């Protein structure tokens, strides 16, 4: 196996190693394995394409066997000639990521047309204010706006993130990933943290692996630690709108506080393209 020479920081600040490995999916082919998915012992969902091409080892062969099919709105579409698995190579030809089979149709729809908010909705998003990528992230072309969404289908969804990005929606986190074209209207959400709280969490410092806390408190004085970037808050009746940064420095005596992470499984993501207008969502930057 190629050693972990490179790590990549996700937008939320957590580390992604040189490769990410999932349990084997099962199934065998009589054809030679041409990608990590059909290579038997391991199933890799992301690896450094550039490093693999320059480093002898088992991942080096995939840079020769995976077939480039076409350019996408951002990056390139590859396909395994053995198992048909689709892969995405980013626009700088560095990171290769598997496209989950249940997201192939979504990626094709994302690639088929620009995904953006109408000017009226963009102004509403700007009034709410965007959360930037975490300070440790290598991908700074990213913004998130927590809100309540009314869709063209008549749905009202209280816990939403408008996710502005350049790349396709490949993440496995979250139960629902949709495109911005489905949005009829947006409103502030009671679950959304105030902009200054969200901004503070996006600037948190990692004090140990997996820990980047931001101390916050409720209007009634209950204290919490947000871990990494957090946009939406719902804890035992305390909602995001009730949270604020402490008025004074925390006491030196250590206290065991609830640690709050982004509730990924409860969020509906609406994907929009990050373009030259997106920085306008950060009026205070």
For the stretch 223-276, pLDDT in tens is: 999 999 999 999 999 999 999 999 877 665 567 999 999 999 999 999 999 999
Q: What is the mean pLDDT of residues 82-105?
A: 94
Q: What is the pLDDT, as a whole number, of residue 19?
A: 46
Both 70 and 15 in one domain: the answer is yes
Give the confidence band of 130 by pLDDT, cuts at 50, 70, 90: very high
Least confident of 64-68, 130-134, 187-191, 244-248: 244-248
Q: Are residue 166 and residue 211 in the same domain, yes or no?
A: no
Asked whether residue 222 carries a pLDDT value surpassing 90, the answer given is yes
Q: Do 33 and 85 belong together in one domain?
A: yes
Residue 111 covered by a domain = no
81 within domain boundaries = yes
Residue 109 lies in a domain: no
Q: Give the 3-state secondary structure of the chain.
A: CCCCCCCEECCCCCEECCEEEECCCCCCCCCCCCCHHHCCCCEEEEEEHHHHHHCCCCCCCHHHHCEEEEECCCCEEEECCCCCCEEEECCCCCEEEECCHHHHHHHHHHHHCCCCCCHHHHHHHHHHCCEECCCCCCCCCEEEEEEEEEECCCCEEEEEEEEEECCCCCCCCCCEEEEHHHEEEEECCCCECCHHHHHHHHCCCCCECCECEEEEEECCCCEEEEECCCCECEECCEEHHHEECCCCCCCCCCCCCCEECCCHHHCEEEEEECCCCHHHHCCCC
Give yes or no: residues 162 and 277 share one domain: yes
Note the pTM of the prediction, 2 decimals: 0.86
Q: Are residues 159 and 225 in the same domain?
A: no
Structural domain of 168: 119-188+266-281
Q: What is the pLDDT of residue 57?
A: 86
- Whether 179 and 218 share a structural domain: no
**In this structure, are 202 and 173 located in the same domain?**
no
What is the per-residue pLDDT across 5-22, written as a single tens digit (0 to 9) for each? Answer: 233 344 555 444 444 444
Query: What is the band of 137 on the pLDDT scale with cuts at 50, 70, 90?
Result: confident
**Residue 153 and residue 15 share a domain:** no
pLDDT of the residue at 31: 73
Q: Are residues 130 and 171 in the same domain?
A: yes
Mean pLDDT across the chain, nearest whole number? 87
Examine residue 1 and state whether it is found in any structural domain, yes or no: no
More confident residue, 72 or 32: 72
Binned at pLDDT 50, 70 and 90, residue 24 comes out as very low
Residues 95 and 13 in one domain: yes
Write down the pLDDT at residue 251: 62
Residue 93 and residue 25 in one domain: yes
Give the pLDDT of residue 252.
Answer: 57
Residue 207 lies in a domain: yes
Residue 2 covered by a domain: no
214 is a domain residue = yes
Specify the pLDDT at position 1.
Answer: 31
Q: Give how many domains the chain has, as a whole number.
A: 3
Any domain includes 112 = no
**56 and 34 assigned to the same domain:** yes
What are the pLDDT digits (tens) for 144-194?
A: 999 999 999 999 999 999 999 999 998 876 669 999 999 999 999 999 999
């Amino acid at each position: 196996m190629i050693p972990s020479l490179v790590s990549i920081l996700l937008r939320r600040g957590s580390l992604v190693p040189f490769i990410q490995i999932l349990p084997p999916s099962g199934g065998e082919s009589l054809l030679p394995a041409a990608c990590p998915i059909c290579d038997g012992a391991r199933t890799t969902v992301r690896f450094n394409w550039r490093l693999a091409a320059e480093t002898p080892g088992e991942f080096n062969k995939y840079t020769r066997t995976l077939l480039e099919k076409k350019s996408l709105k951002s990056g390139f579409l590859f396909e395994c000639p053995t198992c048909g698995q689709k892969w995405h190579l980013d626009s700088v030809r560095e990171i290769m990521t598997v496209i989950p089979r249940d997201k192939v149709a979504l990626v094709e729809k994302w690639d088929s047309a620009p995904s953006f908010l109408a000017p009226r909705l963009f102004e509403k998003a700007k009034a709410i204010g965007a959360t930037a990528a975490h300070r440790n992230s290598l991908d700074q072309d990213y913004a998130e706006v927590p809100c309540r969404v009314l869709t063209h289908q008549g749905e009202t969804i209280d816990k939403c993130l408008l996710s502005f990005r350049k790349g396709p929606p490949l993440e496995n986190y979250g139960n629902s990933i949709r495109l911005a074209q489905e949005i009829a209207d947006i409103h502030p959400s009671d679950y959304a943290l105030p902009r200054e709280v969200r901004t503070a969490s996006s600037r948190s410092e990692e004090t140990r692996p997996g820990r980047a806390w931001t101390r916050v408190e409720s209007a009634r004085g209950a204290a919490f630690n947000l871990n990494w970037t957090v946009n939406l808050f719902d804890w035992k009746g305390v909602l995001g709108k009730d949270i604020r940064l402490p008025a004074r420095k925390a006491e030196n005596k250590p206290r065991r506080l609830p640690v709050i992470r982004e509730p990924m499984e409860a969020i509906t993501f609406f994907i929009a393209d990050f373009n030259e207008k997106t920085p306008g969502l950060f009026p205070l930057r």
